[in-house]
Amino acid sequence: MWVFLITEIMFFGGLFGAYLIYRNMYNPAFVAASKSIRIDLGAINTAVLICSSLTMAMAVHSAALGARKLLILFLIATLVLGGVFLGIKAVEYHEKYVEHHVPGPNFDFNSSEPADERVPADVASQTSIFFALYFAMTGMHALHMIIGAGILIFLIYRAWHGAYPPHHYTMVENFGLYWHFVDIIWIFLFPLLYLVSRSPVH
C-alpha cells in the first residue's frame, strides 16, 4: 500500500509542478480563469471530504473493536459523503461545459463573461491551459474517488456478511490510508485552483 501511495504522490506531484510552471508563464490567464470557478462549491466539497475522512477513521476504529454494525454504518456514511462530493463536482463540470470552458473546438472563455469583465483575446485563449490542467487534476482526483466508492461498496458487502473481525481488518485499514490520501490531495487542489491562483504572481 505504501509503495502504491508513493507512486500516486509522484504522479500528482508532477501535475502540481506542471500547474505551477504554467501559472507563472501565463499568470493573467490563470487569474482570470480561476476567478470563473466557484469557491462556494469547492469549499463545500472540502468540508464534505474532511467529514468523510472522519467517518473513515471511525470505520477503521470500529473494525478494530469488532463493532460490525458501527463499521457498516461508518462505511456507508463515507460512501454517501463520497457520492455528495462527486455530485457537486458534476455540477461544477456541467457549469463549465455550459459556459464553453471545456478545452476543445467549442472553447470560448469570453462568451460567458459580462462585457465589462472580458479579457483580451490572447489571454482568453491562454485560459484553456488553466482549464486543461483543472480538468486533468480534478478529473484524476474524481476517478480516484469513483474507484474508492467501488471499493467501499465491496467492503460494506463483505462487512455485512461478517468479514473483518478485530484480528483481520487489514483491508479496511489499508483502504482507510487510500481514502485519506485522496482527501489530502483535494486539500492541496482546493487552495491551488480556487484560491491562490486568483491573485497575480508578484
Over residues 160-195, the pLDDT tens digits come to 998 888 888 999 999 999 999 999 999 999 999 999
Over residues 77-100, the pLDDT tens digits come to 999 999 999 999 999 999 999 999
Residue type, 179: W
For position 154, what pLDDT does the model report? Answer: 97
Are the C-beta atoms of 125 and 26 separated by less than 8 Å? no
Q: Which pTM does this prediction carry?
A: 0.91
Summarize the chain as % helix, strand, coil (round to 5). Answer: 85, 0, 15
Residue type, 160: W
Fold of 2-198: Four Helix Bundle (Hemerythrin (Met), subunit A) (1.20.120)
